[in-house]
Structure 1
C-alpha cells in the first residue's frame, strides 16, 4: 500500500463545519447593519440635496425654493428619494426633509 498524503473526509467535514458556523454568525450581522448604513446614507443625501437647493436658486437667480421634482428634472439630484426608499420634500422654508404621512 502506497502512503498517499491528503485530507481525510472527517478533516474536510470539520473545516466545512467551521466555515459554515462563521458564515451563520456574519450574515445576520451584515443584514442588521444595512439598515444603519441606509439611514446614514439618507442623512448624507439630505445634506447634499440641501446644497443643491441653494445651487439651483443661485443658478436660476431666484429666491423661490424649488421642489424636489424641479431639482430632479434640472439634473441637480439623481433621485427624489433617499437610499432607504423614503421620499424627500423641500419645505416652505427651503429645508429638505423626509415626507411625513399623517
Structure 2
C-alpha cells in the first residue's frame, strides 16, 4: 500500500501567500486614508470644543474681550490635556475666535 502524505504543496502555499499579499496591498492604502480622515475629524471636533469654551468663558466674564489658553486652563474651562492637544493640532485663539492654522 502506498501512503499518501497529507499537507500543502508548494504551489498551494505560493497561491495563499500571493492572495495574502494582494489583500495587504489593497488594505494598507485604505488604512492611511482612514487615519488622515479621522485626524481631520478630530481636529474639527477639537476646534469646536475650544470655540465653545471660549464663548462660555466670555459669556461668564462679561468684561473680557479676549481670552487665552492659559486663562481657560486656569478657570478650568479646558483641561491641561485639552490645551496641549489643541496646540498640537495648530489651534490658536485670536480675539474671541478659535482658529485652526494649516500646517
Same fold per superposition (TM over 0.5): yes
Q: Report the 3-state secondary structure (helix = DSSP H, G, I; strand = E; otherwise coil) of the residue aligned with 1:47.
A: helix
Change (3 A) 1:3 1:74: farther
Q: For 1:82 and 1:3, how far apart are their aligned partners in 2? A: 66
Structure 1 residues without counterparts, runs of 5 or longer:
none
Q: In proportion to residue count, which structure has more helix?
A: 2
CA RMSD, aligned part only?
Answer: 2.7
Cα distance, 1:79 vs structure 2: 2.9
Work out whether 1:89 is the aligned partner of 2:87.
Answer: no
Cα distance, 1:98 vs structure 2: 1.7
Number of residue pairs the alignment of both structures matches: 97
Cα distance, 1:37 vs structure 2: 2.0
For residues 1-102 of structure 1, the aligned pairs below 5 Å read 1-57=2-58, 61-63=60-62, 64=64, 65-75=66-76, 76-77=78-79, 78-82=82-86, 85-92=88-95, 94-99=96-101
Change (3 A) 1:87 1:56: same
TM-score (norm: length of structure 2):
0.71
Q: For 1:51 and 1:70, how far apart are their aligned partners in 2? A: 14
Contact map agreement 1:80 1:88 (CA 8 A) in 2:
no
Structure 2 residues without counterparts, runs of 5 or longer:
none
TM-score (norm: length of structure 1):
0.72
